[in-house]
Every structure is written in C-alpha cells, then in structure tokens.
Amino acid sequence: MLDQGVERSSIQQREQRNRSGVQQTVSELTADVISRTAFGSSYKEGKEAFHAQKQLLSLDHCHGNSPQCATARIQSRLTSKVSEYGDELPGAMLETCFTTEHGEKRDELVLTMDEIIDECKTFFFAGNDNTSHLLTWTMFLLSVYPEWQERLREEVLRECGKKNPTAEMLRRLKVMTMVLLELLRLYGPGIFMIRKPISDIRLGSLIIPKGNGIVIPIPMLHRDKEVWGDNANEFDPLRFEDGATKAAKIPQAFIAFSLGPRSCIGRNFAMLEAKSVMAMILQKFSFALSPTSDGEGFATAEIGTTEMIEQVEKQRTSTL
C-alpha cells in the first residue's frame, strides 16, 4: 500500500514538472519584450516595477519603489549634459515635452513628473498584461482546436521556414491574423470602455447630454448575434477572412482596440509581438491541454491557464 502511494505521488510530481506554467511564462516574456523595447532594460531590471504595478492594481495603492526608480531615471536624464534624452519611451517623452510644434526647445516640461510616470506605468501594463492575455488564450484555444494549431503551423513553416520571422514574413501570415482577431473578439483583455461626449448627442432613440459617461461593454457587443450571426459565441477565425471591417454586419463591430482617434496606440506592436511569439513556438513545438485539467478558473482576470497546458513537446520530425 505504501509503495503504491509513493508511486502515485512520484507520478503526480512528474506530471507537475511536465506541465508548463503558461500564464507566468508568457507574462515574463511579454514583460521582457516591453521592457527592452520601450525602456531599454532587461526584465530583471524592471521586475520591481512590474511587481509594484500589479500590487497597485490589486490593492489600489503602490508598494515598492517603482515610482522612485522612475523618478530617479527621469531626473538623471534632465540633469544630464547630453543633448539627447535617449531613444526609448521616457527619453522620447522628455524630448517631446521639451520641444515645441516648430521644433524649438522649451524651458519647462509640458507634462509634470507624475504625469510622465503615469504614462510609463500605462505603457508597462498595456505592453505586459494585455499581450500576455492574448498569447495565453491563443495557446489554450489552439489546444482546444488542434486543427487550427496545425493549420497555423503549416502557414508558419511555409512562410518562415526555420528562420526567425521577419516583418515581411509576419505580414504574410494571414491565417495567424484571423486567429488572433477572433481570439480578441471572444476573449479580449478589455472588458469595457468609457467615453464622454463633448456635446449633446443622439444615439438611436437616446439623447446623451454633454459630459455624461458612457460605458461600452466590449464582450457583449462582440457576442451580439444580430451583428455577428448565430455562431457569435463560437470560435470561427474564418469570419475575419476578409478583414475586421467585413467580419460582421457593420464595419465598426470589432472594437478590441477601440476605434477612432482614441484607438489603442499599441495595436500594431501587440499584433506584431503576438505573431512573432506564436510563429516561433509553432516552428518548434506542439501543445495540448493537460488530461488532468478541468478548465476551472478560466473566467478570472489572470486567465487561469497556469499549469493548464500539458508539457510543450518538441516535434519529433527533424524536418521542423
């Protein structure tokens, strides 16, 4: 009896080691990407800032020293004798704040230090959590629908081969784009948007006074059968075969990145990052849901996919 218990325990431990903590791994990856791209630092150097950012979101106040670190970095740029402030995000923001519309130098910042730090924190959050959300759901649904996983792999190998994908290669990944847009429609990171009209407007039979907040529930609109058809709740990337504007009965139905002048400024960056990551994964690996997983917890904000996906296995064929 004892031997059987030890054997079962050993098997469970092996299964535990073989599963991938998908959410954590993907979150660290996207944190590294946004940190290197926008802030010129590695993930380890920015780890405290990400940790404090998550505490700020969950506790409504910030523990840690990320604001002080950001302030120190920006202050060092201001006092630097070098004429340029750097080519990453804080430096670009400082350069803009000190430059007029005619390219002349200002004597004072247009934004306050707190406003610059707030913008940096927004960039951190959007570049980390939103993209990791998309990538984690992509791996989950491609595990649920292995036929789409194989279809994407065929496209990636056809367009990219074994090489690291270039911008031109990524541009040709049409099926990948369709899958990512469908994932954003069904499981986008944004739950709602808030807008305030700058003047009195009529919206259908409603008259909305100037300054009144309007809450736009994105998931409800993305699953409206009158707009998206009877299969609105189903995973069907083919609906985006002709692009986002023709996926539904009205061109403006897809609002995962919002619309108009206030649409997401990081849309292209997020899609490029998601395509790059998924292309490189599909080149070398296949993945499936763990047979011991029951899917519990998938409605949580953290997605709940940690340890949901079975060990990512390398393709056995040497042709990959």
Evaluate whether residue 218 is within a structural domain. Answer: yes
Structure tokens at 317: 């064929």
Evaluate whether residue 80 is within a structural domain. Answer: no
Evaluate whether residue 285 is within a structural domain. Answer: yes
Structure confidence at residue 125 (pLDDT): 73
Evaluate whether residue 99 is within a structural domain. Answer: no
Evaluate whether residue 101 is within a structural domain. Answer: no
H or E segment and range at residue 57: helix 43-59
What is the span of the domain harbouring residue 279? 145-289
Question: Structurally, how many domains does the chain consist of?
Answer: 1
| Binding-site residues | 264
Structure confidence at residue 203 (pLDDT): 84
Evaluate whether residue 214 is within a structural domain. Answer: yes
Evaluate whether residue 93 is within a structural domain. Answer: no
Helix (H, G, I), strand (E, B) or coil at 46: helix
Phi-psi category of residue 102: left, alpha or beta, with phi > 0 → left and psi -120 to 50 → alpha = alpha
Q: The pTM is what?
A: 0.74
Evaluate whether residue 269 is within a structural domain. Answer: yes
Structure confidence at residue 262 (pLDDT): 80
The CATH number of the domain where 188 resides is what?
A: 1.10.630.10
Q: Which of 56, 52, 252, 276 is CA-nearest to residue 164?
A: 276
| Binding-site residues for heme | 264
Q: Which of 117, 133, 131 is CA-nearest to residue 53?
A: 117
Q: What is the mean pLDDT of the chain?
A: 75
- Taking 50 as the pLDDT cut, the residues of the chain under it are 1-9, 11-20, 60-67, 70, 78-79, 81-83, 296-311, 313-314, 316-320
